[in-house]
Structure 1
Amino acid sequence: MNETIPINVDGQAGLFIHARQTAAELRERGRRQLCCLDARLRTLTAEPEEGAATAEYAVVLIAATGFAALLISITKSDAVKTLLTNIVKKALNVG
């Protein structure tokens, strides 16, 4: 606190001017720190990929459903039925 206090033209100490300047500096510093804190909190709480997981699950479910439909259509065909039946019969005859 070894600051020099400015003196007005009247020869009186500019205590109020000095106090206003100090208050303005403190207010500006507080605003900057509050702004930085706000930016940090927004960054930490933001979830930019919030909907990405849901979209990925939807794509996987559609692909799995399509694959299941393809397998069902293949296994319902006569050629595959006979092939699978022959494989099962050979497995049972071995044991």
Structure 2
Amino acid sequence: MRQHHLLPPQPAANAPDSEDTTSGRIRSLLNDIVEKISSQCCLLDARMRTAMAEPESGMATAEYAVVLIAATGFAGLLVAILKSGDVRELLMSIVKQALNIG
């Protein structure tokens, strides 16, 4: 993995004072943050490349789900229509006529 350094390394000093150690800690923290962001970007890039390799691989499942929901709604509508009194009488008259013809 590549090493990213946000800030250049600080020069070596014989006796670092408190400002040098503070800036060294800040520099170290910033470099750690850059490294974490870089690794997360690499993971995101890999996920995006995987998803874009076959963008329609999950479409069949989604299409089946949409068709199933539409069919369930249509079945509910038919049940509501067939339960009405007028439609029931119409269907009963059709069945009686079909049985009387024979």
- CA distance in 1 between counterparts of 2:55 and 2:89 reads 52
1:77 aligns with 2:91: no
1:50 aligns with 2:60: no
Instruction: Provide the aligned length of Structure 1 versus Structure 2.
Output: 52
Equivalent residue in structure 1 for 2:71, among 45, 51, 64: 64
Q: CA offsets per residue over residues 3-24 of structure 1, 9 Å max, x none? A: xxxxxxxxxxxxxxxxxxxxxx
1:87 aligns with 2:94: yes
Structure 2 residues without counterparts, runs of 5 or longer: 1-48
Q: Could you state the TM-score of these two structures normalised by the residue count of structure 1?
A: 0.50
C-alpha displacement of 1:47: 3.0
C-alpha displacement of 1:48: 2.4
**What amino acid is aligned across from residue 61 of structure 1 in structure 2?**
L
Structure 1 residues without counterparts, runs of 5 or longer: 1-41
Matches within 5 A, 1:20-31: none
What root-mean-square deviation, in Å, do the aligned CA atoms of Structure 1 and Structure 2 show? 1.9
Higher relative contact order (CA 8 A, sep 6+): 2
C-alpha displacement of 1:49: 1.1
Q: CA offsets per residue over residues 43-91 of structure 1, 9 Å max, x none? A: xxx4321111111111100000000000000000000000000000000
Q: Could you state the TM-score of these two structures normalised by the residue count of structure 2?
A: 0.47
